[in-house]
């Protein structure tokens, strides 16, 4: 025998099942992956820095340097930034005696270097005072024309290097888009190991602008 299914019973079943749909959708929404915690690329550029400085290099060389650094956004946290730099270094004229040639040579060498590094900020990178540590790897393209085979062999090579730096950025002005930066670097590379101090002018963008 079949029981008669009245319209009232059908309406009651429908009313009971309606609240279930939002709960199912909410449960499915909770299972979706969280939004990405990194923001990298040209559209995420946080800062562009032009800097100059002074370096003390092994073998008794001293040099001036000019360069630029770009902050390409953050990785896993706004305090961990991906930065890339390019620097041109030119030494002061330097004398070196080559015993095997029984001669003293005086000239300069050049170093065009580029590094990719991670900068770790101790506080919010958009704060008025933002200290940081940085470490990375790079390449050094060296050139010289001392006229000595022993010296020019040393300074006409391409060397890989390691970078470590400590620095701080201080925002200036009311717009929140300008800053000054001071950085102390140590670079480990064959024949051009050095310590450098740089001062830079910074333009801030995107998440580094103080709102």
- Give me the number of domains the chain comprises: 1
**Would 25 be classed as within a structural domain?**
no
pLDDT for res 27? 44
Looking at the chain, list the stretches that DSSP marks H as alpha helix, in order from N- to C-terminal side.
Answer: 7-17, 20-30, 149-154
Which CATH number is 66's domain given? 2.40.160.20
Tell me, what's the pLDDT at 210?
75
What pLDDT is attached to residue 26? 43
> Which portions of the chain are predicted below pLDDT 70?
1-36, 211
Could you tell me if residue 64 is inside a domain? yes
Please report whether residue 142 resides in a domain. Answer: yes
pLDDT score recorded for residue 99? 83
Cβ 163 vs Cβ 115: under 8 Å:
yes
Give the domain extent around 180. Answer: 36-208
């Amino acid at each position: 025998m079949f029981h008669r299914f009245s319209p009232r019973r059908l309406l009651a079943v429908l009313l009971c099942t309606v609240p279930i749909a939002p709960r199912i959708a909410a449960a499915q929404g909770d299972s979706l992956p969280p939004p990405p915690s990194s923001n990298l690329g040209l559209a995420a550029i946080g800062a562009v820095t032009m800097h100059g400085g002074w370096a003390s290099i092994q073998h008794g060389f001293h040099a001036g340097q000019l360069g630029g650094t770009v902050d390409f956004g953050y990785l896993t946290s706004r305090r961990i930034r991906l930065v890339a730099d390019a620097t041109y270094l030119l030494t002061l004229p330097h004398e070196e005696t080559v015993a095997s040639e029984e001669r003293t040579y005086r000239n300069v060498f050049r170093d065009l270097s580029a590094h990719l590094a991670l900068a770790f900020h101790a506080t919010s990178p958009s704060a008025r005072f933002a200290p940081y540590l940085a470490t990375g790897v790079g390449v050094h393209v060296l050139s010289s024309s001392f006229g000595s085979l022993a010296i020019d062999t040393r300074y006409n090579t391409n060397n890989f290097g390691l970078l470590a730096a400590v620095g701080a950025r201080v925002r200036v002005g009311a717009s929140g888009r300008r800053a000054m930066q001071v950085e102390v670097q140590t670079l480990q590379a064959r024949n051009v190991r050095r310590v450098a101090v740089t001062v830079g002018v910074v333009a801030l963008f995107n998440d580094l602008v103080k709102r």
